[in-house]
A and B are shown apart, each in its own frame.
Chain A
Amino acid sequence: AKGSITGSGSSAQKNAIDEWVKAYQNACSGATINYQSTGSSTGRQQFISKQVAFAGSDSALKDQQKTDADARCTGGAAVDLPMAVGPVALMYHVSGVNGLQLSAQTLAKIFAGKITKWNDPAIKAENSAASLPDATIASVHRSDGSGTTDNFTKFLKGAGGADWTFDSGSDWKAPGGQGAKGSDGVTSTVKSTENSIGYAELSYAENAGLSTVKVKNAAGEYIEPSTDGASLGLSTAKVADGDDLKLTFDYTTATKGAYPVYLVTYEIACTKGLSADQAALVKSFLTYTASDAAQSSIGDLGYAPLPDAVATKVRAVVAKLA
């Protein structure tokens, strides 16, 4: 395909898209794809107001948004296509402590401000070997609206049970802790703050050389964040019927080796309603991104490939785009 299209939205998928765009443009000279990470919600809005041909979003379209987005796709509908999966790492900076292991409940208490000391019995119980300091926990969360926050709070809510009483969403709602802008802001704050803990996509933690928490999954194992673990974790998610492939996460089914904190990021596209050349380019690009080659090319950027079941469905819907 030739021509150029724009997309915007999630910053979580920016690295993946950059990589895919590079490979895609190498293969199809004459095609350009411009993706800007404006934030998922802005991406969806720009998609609805016809400013972009596709949107990247860390959460699927909700009811009203779906209606608006469908209206944008004249004669067709807007569809959510899961495209990349990423583990969300919990990074910490506590000197002398390695291999910290925490359950969802403990994490929920920490981020809700119910556990305030590193040597709290709840943490001690899970890390009998570690010498935990008598220091106040500095929890770091995103200060800007974020898909990562959305997915992390979904996990806390889904797996943390009664210990997480706040709603999930892209805004951080719990009191206490300190905010930082962007995943890089969270990472550098954790790095520069003693006794801190924060969350970000795995690649940020790895690049900053910060230790990551082993999180307890439904099978009772403490698992290091990894792309494969995230893939396993997502494999239990329910995929919606029809073309709109909304995922519903399942944090309770025990899967061996699954890492439970992950985010899924979607592409939102029209089944109909774009101009022919735009539609062709979107279709062609998404066909590539859903391919095995594309999915496996982003592993070392901190993304996990879609579970096969999901990938198959995505490819089927992409094939229907016109």
Chain B
Amino acid sequence: MTTEPDSSADAAEPRGAATATVPPEDPPPAGGPAVVSADKPRVGTADLIFKNLTRTAGLGLLALIAVIAVFLVLRATHALNANTGNFLTTEEWFPNATPPKFGVAATLYGTVVSAAVAMIIAVPVAVGIALFITVYAPRQLSSVLGYIVDLLAAVPSVVYGLWGLIVLAPHMKGIQLWLNDYFGWIPIFDAESVGRSLFVASVVLAIMILPIVAALSREVFLQVPIAHREAALALGATRWEMIRVAVLPYGKPGVISASMLGLGRAMGETIAVALVLPASFNISAHLLSPAGNTIAANVANGWGEANDIGRGALIASGLVLFIVTMIVNIIARAIVARRREFSGSAA
């Protein structure tokens, strides 16, 4: 069946046959082999333009962030210099008084705790929802269900705030009392009275970030190749085992990213928290007590009636939030990076 090489091929005996196994017998033409590094390929003009466009956008983003950071620092220093308290350890917030005395300790605590509790509530639920939509729900239903959860994102934050204040907080009273009755021996559930607490604010935040984490996780899970899911099932995995073996590991970096987006939102949420929390400036481990404040909410509360120092102080607290977000993200990235080469995705 072999097609005989045509005459031209016949004439030209394939070269290199003789030298193939003998390494560099025929020396490269001009002193050393032409080394071409893949890092510096010549690229077409359009490609170059596009690449630089995207690069400029990326650098533009850095510039924007730098400008914001500089803005925050510039506006903050004046107030920090006038502060008679320790900015990091003082709990009270009296920047408009004479002399001004303020610190972020209480609001930072509230920010971190409310965001953390919100994440503890929201992330597992969101992952559950994403799994429900991508793995459990019948196909025809899944996009409708996905849409339903996305609707949570359509509720404006001011409405969440009003709802949290008027509807949720009274309803949460029972649950909080119950937690206090039965789990009161755990300090965080211990409270003299319950009300618009950090816990309630966390629930509101959890509801707000739920659609973000759920929607992005859903998209990530949808991308898990069928082949991986089938491989697991063919090994005799139950549905849950299939999820554990194929879906979750593949989607983990994406879920962490989505969670970081949610966490950012939770820590930065302004108006809803301002409406819900009673804005007290003290650090208390009792999550159910009507107390607590967050940096973002404090800015919203304080801005309208703040004097010059007061504004600087609020901006300084915004800067703190910026830095905290940075630290949290460093940690998240370290977690993702640990097994990067095992990630299922490209790039």
Do any CB atoms of chain A lie under 8 A from CB atoms of chain B in the complex? Answer: yes
**Interface of A toward B, CB cutoff 8 Å:** 38-42, 136, 138, 143-147, 150, 167, 169-171, 173, 175, 178-181, 185, 188-189, 192-193
* Interface residue B63 (Cβ < 8 Å from any Cβ of A): no
Residue from A147, A175, A192 whose CB has the most chain B CB atoms within 10 Å: A192
Partner of A188, one of B165, B195, B293, B300: B165
- The listed residue (A138, A145, A147, A178) touching B302 by CB distance below 8 A is A145
A-B contact sample (5 more), CB < 8 A, given A167-B97, A178-B195: A41-B306, A136-B193, A169-B97, A179-B277, A192-B169
Establish whether residues B275 and A145, one from each chain, have CB atoms under 8 Å apart when the complex forms. Answer: no
Counting CB contacts under 8 A, is B263 at the interface?
no
Q: How far is the CA of A175 from the CA of B93 in the complex (A)?
A: 12
Contact A143 B303, beta carbon cutoff 8 Å: no
Number of residues from B at the complex interface, CB < 8 A: 30
Give complex CA distance A136, B310 in Å.
33
Partner of B305, one of A145, A173, A188: A145
Within 8 Å CB of B307, what residues of A?
41
Q: Is B96 in contact with chain A by the CB < 8 A criterion?
A: yes
Q: Does chain A have a CB within 8 A of B129?
A: no
A170: chain B residues within 8 A (beta carbon)? 96, 305
What is the bound-complex CA distance between A39 and B290, given in angstroms? 25
Q: Which residue of A lies closest to B275 (CB)?
A: A181
Which residues of chain B have C-beta atoms less than 8 A from A40's C-beta?
304-305
Whether B170 and A144, one on each chain, are in contact in the complex, defined by CB atoms closer than 8 angstroms, is no
Q: How far is the CA of A295 from the CA of B243 in the complex (A)?
A: 71
Contact B278 A145, beta carbon cutoff 8 Å: no
CA distance A32 to B310 in the complex (A): 33
Contact of A181 among B282, B291, B301 (CB under 8 A): B301
Is the pair A38, B169 in contact by a Cβ cutoff of 8 Å? no
Are B195 and A193 in contact, with the CB atoms below 8 A? yes
The CA of A191 and the CA of B301, in the complex, are separated in Å by 21
**Do A39 and B278 contact each other (CB < 8 Å), given the known contacts A173-B94, A173-B97?**
no
How far, in Å, is B228 (CB) from chain A's closest CB?
49
Cβ contact within 8 Å between B274 and A171: no
Q: Complex Cα distance A30/B85, Å?
A: 53
CB pairs A–B below 8 angstroms (27 shown): A38-B304, A39-B303, A40-B304, A41-B306, A42-B303, A143-B278, A143-B279, A144-B300, A144-B301, A144-B302, A145-B306, A150-B305, A170-B305, A171-B97, A178-B195, A178-B280, A178-B290, A178-B291, A179-B277, A180-B165, A181-B274, A181-B300, A181-B301, A185-B165, A185-B275, A189-B165, A193-B195
Q: Which residue of chain B lies nearest to A58 when distances are taken between CB atoms in the complex?
A: B305
Kindly report which residue of chain B lies nearest to residue A42, judged by CB atoms: B304
Which residue on B lies nearest to A8, using beta carbons? B304
Indicate if B196 sits at the interface (CB-CB under 8 A): yes
A192→B290 CA distance, assembly (Å): 13
A178 pairs with B305, CB closer than 8 A: no
Which of B170, B293, B306 has the most chain A CB atoms closer than 10 A to its own CB?
B306
Q: Assess the A143–B304 pair: CB atoms within 8 A.
A: no
Q: Nearest CB to that of A65 among chain B residues?
A: B307
**B57: interface (CB < 8 Å):** no
Contact A171 B279 (CB under 8 A): no
Residue on A nearest B300 in the bound complex, by CB? A144
A143–B297 alpha-carbon span in the complex (Å): 10
Q: In the complex, what residues of B have CB within 8 A of residue A169's CB?
A: 96-97
Taking the complex as formed, is B166 at the interface, i.e. its CB lies under 8 A from any CB of chain A? yes
The 8 tightest CB contacts between A and B, nearest first, are A39-B304, A145-B305, A143-B279, A178-B278, A144-B301, A179-B279, A170-B305, A41-B305
